[in-house]
Amino acid sequence: MSDSAQRVFVTGLGVISPLGLDVQSTWKAIVSGRSGVDFISAFDTGGFDTTFAAEVKGFEPEAYLERKESRRMDRFAQFAAVAAQEACRHAGIDLADEDPFRVGAIIGSGIGGILTLSQQYDVLRDRGPRRVTPFLIPMMLGDMASAQVSMVTGSMGANYCVVSSCSSGADALGQGWEMIRRGQADVVLAGGSEAPIVPIAVAGFNSLRALSRFNEDPSRASKPFNRDRDGFVMGEGSAVLVLESEEHLVQRGVTPLAELRGYGATSDAHHLTEPNPTGQSAANAIGLALKAATVDVSEVDYLNAHGTSTPLNDWQETKAIKLAMGEEAYRVPISSTKSMTGHLLGAGGALEAALCVKAIQNDVIPPTINLVDPDPECDLDYTPLTARQVKVNVAMSNSFGFGGHNSVLVFTDPGWAG
């Protein structure tokens, strides 16, 4: 890092996930190895090849947001607004006491308000164009999660959505990191949000043959790095992290949770959905993130893998890790928390970033559940079945998306000298 660049710390976390409606309940479920995958309750799955997903359960937006405002938000924006509020409470920051123009909001989403769009298409078809809600457009736009976060928190700095498929949440954090390092903001609320469990999305991913079809037992369907994995499990939710400059958190007198120390991103330039078979571009993203963090591969204590449970992704990610880390790849504990949360698409990288921070705080390596018969081609230490107590000073998170997006984040314990 440049001597003149601001260091960037995480001071608060907010999470809405298939495992819980806050950070603590989600983390408790992760450590215990509990699956959040079950049969879909949001719609009738008759005729669908996949009948399960990782849904957020028990979420009542009016318990957190004003009724009138919550009804003008798509579900993905509701998730983000609530996660951002939790993150601010966790950080102990009252934005009414801040210069609002020095606080940004960057929330990634791959699909945006697809629930509202699909519902209003039904209204158009069944009841005609004049019955379509005037809130269709402001509810379906991808930037409306960041806009709603800005409105519910009062942040008035840069406010935008990052769209890079399944790398969106990670890239939002990377852009927040860059903004603070450049001195453009003191605080950035950064993360991702997604609510894609609707018929058209499930049908579309089924047509791609990307989703698991293990309808016999949904809780065992997400099995990253397992020999018989057959696709990813769609999930929903949001995670928002409060990123703060060192100067600002010292002025506030708060203790950070972790330091966001490095970010790297590359493109495969290869295929719409398949990762580059060489793994080199993803490996380069890992290398760029470690270089930015001034962290050697020998110092990485935990890697949260993208680990989608699709055959191609898990093979190529394993290859990329080996290319980037050499023999150290066999030493570092790795896990895919998607085995429990499913794949939150554009929010996945943000949720997994939050889990990396929790791993550092608690010195715990989350497990990869359902890994009972490892693929011989995936021969690294994927922390099968149960969590592991290990000192974690440095945690890395991989996020790879359709379109060839590769994004990697490096977090460290705030007291780690390196």
Q: How many folded domains does the chain comprise?
A: 2
Report d(CA 201, CA 268) in Å as an integer.
Answer: 24
Indicate the SS3 state at residue 310: coil
Whether residue 240 sits in one domain with residue 288: no
Model confidence band, residue 192 (pLDDT cutoffs 50, 70, 90) = very high
> Is 418 contained in some domain?
no
Give the pLDDT confidence of 252-302 residue by residue, as tens digits: 999 999 999 999 999 988 888 787 788 899 999 999 999 999 999 999 999
Whether residue 54 sits in one domain with residue 73: yes
Whether residue 287 sits in one domain with residue 220: no
Model confidence band, residue 1 (pLDDT cutoffs 50, 70, 90) = very low
* pLDDT score at 323: 97
User: Is 34:17 a contact under the CB 8 Å cutoff?
Assistant: no
Residue 110's nearest CA partner among 21, 170, 25 is 170
Tell me which residues are annotated as active site.
Answer: 166, 306, 343
Whether residue 269 sits in one domain with residue 129: no
Give the pLDDT confidence of 334-360 residue by residue, as tens digits: 999 999 999 999 999 999 999 999 999
Q: If residue 406 lies in a helix (H) or strand (E), which one and from where to where? A: strand 405-412
> Is 211 contained in some domain?
yes
What is the full DSSP assignment across 201-239?
Answer: HHHHHHHTT-B---TT-GGGT--TTBTT---B-BB-EEE
Whether residue 357 sits in one domain with residue 223: no
Residue 169's nearest CA partner among 338, 26, 395, 345 is 345
Q: Is 64 exposed, middle or buried (0-12, 13-18, 19+ CB in 10 A)?
A: middle
Of 225, 252, 279, the one marking the end of a domain is 252
User: Is 286:321 a contact under the CB 8 Å cutoff?
Assistant: yes
Please give the radius of gyration of the chain, using alpha carbons only, rounded to the nearest integer: 20
Q: Is 1 exposed, middle or buried (0-12, 13-18, 19+ CB in 10 A)?
A: middle
**pLDDT higher than threshold 80 for residue 2:** no
Whether residue 279 sits in one domain with residue 144: no
Per-residue pLDDT, averaged over 389-410, amounts to 95
CB contact burial 119-140 (16+ within 10 A = b; e otherwise): bbeeeeeeeeeeeeeeebebbb
Whether residue 194 sits in one domain with residue 92: yes
* pLDDT score at 277: 83
* pLDDT score at 417: 82
> Is 48 contained in some domain?
yes
> Is 276 contained in some domain?
yes
Taking residue 363's Cβ as centre, other Cβ atoms within 10 Å add up to 15
**pLDDT higher than threshold 60 for residue 23:** yes
Taking residue 15's Cβ as centre, other Cβ atoms within 10 Å add up to 32
Whether residue 337 sits in one domain with residue 240: no
Give the pLDDT confidence of 86-142 residue by residue, as tens digits: 999 999 999 989 999 999 999 999 999 999 999 999 999 999 999 999 999 999 999
Q: Is 378 exposed, middle or buried (0-12, 13-18, 19+ CB in 10 A)?
A: buried
Report d(CA 413, CA 394) in Å as an integer.
Answer: 7
Give the whole-number percent of the chain exceeding pLDDT 90. Answer: 94
The domain that holds 320 is classified in CATH as 3.40.47.10
DSSP code of 368? B
> Is 3 contained in some domain?
no
Residues of the domain holding 117: 9-252
Whether residue 303 sits in one domain with residue 240: no
Whether residue 236 sits in one domain with residue 94: yes
Whether residue 48 sits in one domain with residue 151: yes
Whether residue 205 sits in one domain with residue 122: yes
Indicate the SS3 state at residue 176: helix
Per-residue pLDDT, averaged over 24-35, amounts to 98
